[in-house]
Structure 1
Amino acid sequence: MNGQNNEAVFSLESANLKFGNGAFEELGWELNRLGLKKPLLFADPRLRSLGIIDRAAEILARAGIPITVYDRISVEPTIDSFGEAARFAAAMRPDCFIALGGGSTIDTAKVANLISTHGGEIIDYVNPPVGGGRKPQSPLAPLIAIPTTSGSGSEATTVAILDIPELKIKTGISHRYLRPALAIVDPELARSTPPAVTASCGLDVVCHAVESYISKPFDARPKPATPDDRPPYQGSNPIADIWSLKAIEFGGQFLRRAVKSGNDLEARGTMMLGATMAGIGFGTAGVHIPHACAYPLAGLKHKYRAEGYETTHNFIPHGFSVIVTAPAAFRYTFDAAPEKHIKAAELLRGASIADPGPDSLPSALIDLMRDVGAPSGIAALGYEEADIPALVEGALKQQRLLVGAPKPIDAKGIDSIFRASFANW
């Protein structure tokens, strides 16, 4: 422990998890077990053409449960798309929510559940200093999350991420009540995910896990005034580290294979499990510098055309916006926890490193990025040197994340990370 005024307690909360090929077929049984009879299904519209939405309806029909479907999900959702979903949910008054899709779908269901249950404006709940940081005073309706991608880990976390276009920034809403009651993770649902989407999602998994593993230790943080003031992102701790380390290992072993073939169910399934495990890890420990930099990268400009996503607008997939600054960020944080950086690098490479040092983890990440077809840096995303001040300003607004970095960082440090990230190779 690092002082009597520092935190001495950490907590681990997670969604109940059901994992395995065919787990989706048990959805009706789960709703009946929980006594839920009026679900509202939030679904990625792409899943309709694949027959997966109809399959969900059939599974629930066999259980005697009718459903209403909401599929107006925006890729990388905005405050407006969240608001539309919340109004629909408020009109339907369901007794539970089901989210079938990627992180955008699960996050949309989280916020629709929040607003339809407790009312208010979405900006009231957005994390400060962007929003009001309002806390829901009682639990929400049960949410069952069924991911179809291997990335966000939203099925296990307390966070929903949104874009606020008028502020040119992405930010989030975070509270323990947003965490799903149950995650059903079925590798067969990830078969149809395109390679570029698999790559972005998988790099998000890796970054979640590495950031949480090397985050500021929980007992190096100030003690909260009350347990209610303890943040969801508490800092690294022995339990969260277990989940994060395994997710890093899975990323190093299986992401390249998952990108290469949709029929490699071992690789796709392991990355799905890794996403959930990383979600449990960072949902407790937190993420920091790469994610703080990612939000202005995703919100300030919309020049990048993402492959593999069925959308007509330009946007930067979240995993790519996160990973491009990660090598520079981890060079910056190396001296705060050298042994953790080296351990993460060894897990990504699947081997010990002969001459470990500050570049061990960045170089392992860069090799993985290149192998799965990620953009080389922020220049490839449409950014120029003149954009750096605005990017720094946007990252500094993410204080909820930056306080979890293993060493302090200010505007000068963030500026140097963006400048070092124009091209990683």
Structure 2
Amino acid sequence: MACSSIRYGKGVTQEVGMDVQNVGARRVCVMTDKNLARLPPLRNVLDSLTRHAVKFDLFDDVRVEPTDGSLKKAIAFARRGAFDAYVAVGGGSVIDTCKVANLYTSSPDADFMDYVNAPIGKGKPINFSLKPLIAQYVLEITNPLTCETTGVAVFDHEPLKAKTGIASRAIRPTLGLIDPLHTSYLPERVCANSGFDVLCHCLESYTALPFDQREPCPTNPLYRPVYQGSNPISDVWSRHTLHIVAKYLKRAVQNRDDLEARSLMHLGSTFAGIGFGNAGVHLCHGMSYPISGMAKTYKAKGYNIDHNLVPHGLSVVVTSPAVFTFTASMCPERHLEAAEILGADIRQACRADAGRILADVLRQMLFDLGVDDGLSALGYSCDDIPELVRGTLPQERVTKLSPRAQTEEDLSLLFEESMKLY
């Protein structure tokens, strides 16, 4: 079990200047995106750094859903600055971009594909130290609500038209700051998609292949994957967060002024990050990568961006009814328990019904929160399924964590079943 140090509480943003001082940094790279650059959370961070006489340069050109091209731009900025610490002000896109910039600045002779997950990249182990990275997690307006204090950075690999990433405990932030005062800046639709990501983090990590069934054993602990499979500690975090999602997600989406609901979803995303950051995710995420990467005509509602985008949380949750129907036979008790937490009556249920029951409660939740009616509503048709499958096949880092192995034909059927939800 590994996770970053995390500090939660109203107003903790004010402490970031002292945190940077405490790690001995003299010159800091601050990264954010264009939307957050205009909002108070960034100003609060910069004011704290200034107040504590910390010198910094600002990179505010992080791309929503980073690509290999946008990451290389951030790496070039970081290499020019000779920074001795990093502060990421945002959500997953910003924090992942900052992780990658820190990594490749600390390894200046590396080729970009050296640390990218195999089989897409070379998947080399990271056996050197990085600079301190403080993640000021502020529910990035254009990114999923996920406390990315994990050892994973995800991006769109443009040649493949699908997501991949870099996974190593070495890239985890040193400290994550979680300030619930920032939650009111999240628009309704972004809040919903963000919460769906947290929901799937819980469900996938809780139903992932158990850690002691993964083989072969790594020849050296250095090669042990960040995503290990479901395990007793991650289970605690994932199950607890699922209760939070069940109680507070709808409230958080429907009323942006509900500080209790939004604060607890903010904290819950942190709990989920600890759970899935060690257990991992599986098919919903693996299938989401080509859905996002191939975004054709869909313009995400509530997002202030100028490119086609299927938001990450939406691309993940849209396949969830089909996925959990498919995986339920391998661990039906866990699927039934998840369904019960989300509100299903399972008193008369039998093990064979686990997948259907969980799928039904998920469909109802998605309907209640206004989710588009499946992949067809996101601009896809059955003609796109072969390419969606091709984009999923290289995602072995997560697909191999599914409790049920899948063939290309299985994946095709899952995409087909996800064309319509209701």
Q: What residue in structure 2 maps to residue 6 of structure 1?
A: none
- What is the rounded CA distance, in whole Å, between the counterparts of 1:50 and 1:168 in structure 2? 32
1:193 maps to which of 177, 183, 186: 186
Q: CA deviation at 1:39?
A: 1.4
- 2:256·2:262 contact (CA, 8 Å) conserved in 1? yes
| Residue deviations 1:135-156 (CA, integer Å, cap 9, x gap) | 2221211111122228453532
2:418 maps to which of 407, 417, 421: 421
Where do 5+ consecutive residues of structure 2 fail to align? none
| Residue deviations 1:4-60 (CA, integer Å, cap 9, x gap) | xxxxxxxx0001010111111111222222222321110122123223322211111
Q: What residue in structure 2 maps to residue 218 of structure 1?
A: 211
Q: What residue in structure 2 maps to residue 46 of structure 1?
A: 35
1:262 match: secondary structure = coil
Q: What residue in structure 1 maps to residue 80 of structure 2?
A: 91
Q: Please say if 1:37 is aligned against 2:31.
A: no
- 1:249·1:347 contact (CA, 8 Å) conserved in 2? yes
Pairwise CA RMSD: 1.4
1:380 match: secondary structure = helix
Q: What residue in structure 1 maps to residue 309 of structure 2?
A: 315
1:378 maps to which of 375, 379, 403: 375
Amino acid at match of 2:285: H
Q: CA deviation at 1:294?
A: 0.3
Counterparts in 2 of 1:352 and 1:63: CA distance versus 1, 3 Å? farther
- What is the rounded CA distance, in whole Å, between the counterparts of 1:51 and 1:18 in structure 2? 20
Say which is worse superposed, 365-374 or 250-259, in terms of deviation.
365-374
Q: Please say if 1:127 is aligned against 2:117.
A: yes
Amino acid at match of 2:364: D
- What is the rounded CA distance, in whole Å, between the counterparts of 1:159 and 1:374 in structure 2? 27
- What is the rounded CA distance, in whole Å, between the counterparts of 1:337 and 1:325 in structure 2? 19
1:191 match: secondary structure = helix
| Residue deviations 1:362-419 (CA, integer Å, cap 9, x gap) | 1221122122222221111111111111111111111111111111111111111111
Counterparts in 2 of 1:33 and 1:187: CA distance versus 1, 3 Å? same
Q: CA deviation at 1:352?
A: 4.5
Counterparts in 2 of 1:321 and 1:367: CA distance versus 1, 3 Å? same
Amino acid at match of 1:139: S
2:136 match: secondary structure = strand
| Residue deviations 1:237-283 (CA, integer Å, cap 9, x gap) | 11000111111111111111111122211111111111111111111
2:89 match: secondary structure = strand
| Residue deviations 1:294-333 (CA, integer Å, cap 9, x gap) | 0011112331100121111111100000001111000001
1:71 match: secondary structure = strand
Q: What residue in structure 1 maps to residue 261 of structure 2?
A: 267
Amino acid at match of 1:388: I
- What is the rounded CA distance, in whole Å, between the counterparts of 2:231 and 2:42 in structure 1? 39
- What is the rounded CA distance, in whole Å, between the counterparts of 2:219 and 2:43 in structure 1? 49
Counterparts in 2 of 1:159 and 1:74: CA distance versus 1, 3 Å? same
Amino acid at match of 1:107: D
2:55 match: secondary structure = coil
Amino acid at match of 2:398: L
Q: What residue in structure 2 maps to residue 67 of structure 1?
A: 56
Q: Please say if 1:141 is aligned against 2:131.
A: yes
2:62 match: secondary structure = coil
- 1:251·1:274 contact (CA, 8 Å) conserved in 2? yes
1:300 maps to which of 273, 294, 307: 294
- What is the rounded CA distance, in whole Å, between the counterparts of 2:111 and 2:301 in structure 1? 33
Q: Please say if 1:286 is aligned against 2:274.
A: no
- 1:146·1:155 contact (CA, 8 Å) conserved in 2? no
TM-score, structure 1 as length reference: 0.94
- What is the rounded CA distance, in whole Å, between the counterparts of 1:233 and 1:52 in structure 2? 31
2:377 match: secondary structure = coil
Q: CA deviation at 1:199?
A: 0.7
- What is the rounded CA distance, in whole Å, between the counterparts of 1:25 and 1:188 in structure 2? 12
Q: What residue in structure 2 maps to residue 77 of structure 1?
A: 66
2:49 match: secondary structure = helix
Identity of aligned residues (%): 40
- What is the rounded CA distance, in whole Å, between the counterparts of 1:231 and 1:262 in structure 2? 38
- What is the rounded CA distance, in whole Å, between the counterparts of 2:111 and 2:92 in structure 1? 22
Q: Please say if 1:399 is aligned against 2:396.
A: yes
Q: What residue in structure 1 maps to residue 366 of structure 2?
A: 369
- 1:328·1:362 contact (CA, 8 Å) conserved in 2? yes
TM-score, structure 2 as length reference: 0.95
- What is the rounded CA distance, in whole Å, between the counterparts of 2:145 and 2:341 in structure 1? 20
1:39 match: secondary structure = strand
- What is the rounded CA distance, in whole Å, between the counterparts of 2:149 and 2:98 in structure 1? 13
Count of residues in Structure 1 that have an aligned counterpart in Structure 2: 413
Q: What residue in structure 2 maps to residue 389 of structure 1?
A: 386
2:87 match: secondary structure = strand
Q: What residue in structure 2 maps to residue 4 of structure 1?
A: none
- What is the rounded CA distance, in whole Å, between the counterparts of 1:287 and 1:20 in structure 2? 28
Output aligned runs, 1:141-160, within 5 Å.
141-149=131-139, 151=144, 153-160=146-153
- 2:41·2:138 contact (CA, 8 Å) conserved in 1? no
Where do 5+ consecutive residues of structure 1 fail to align? 1-11
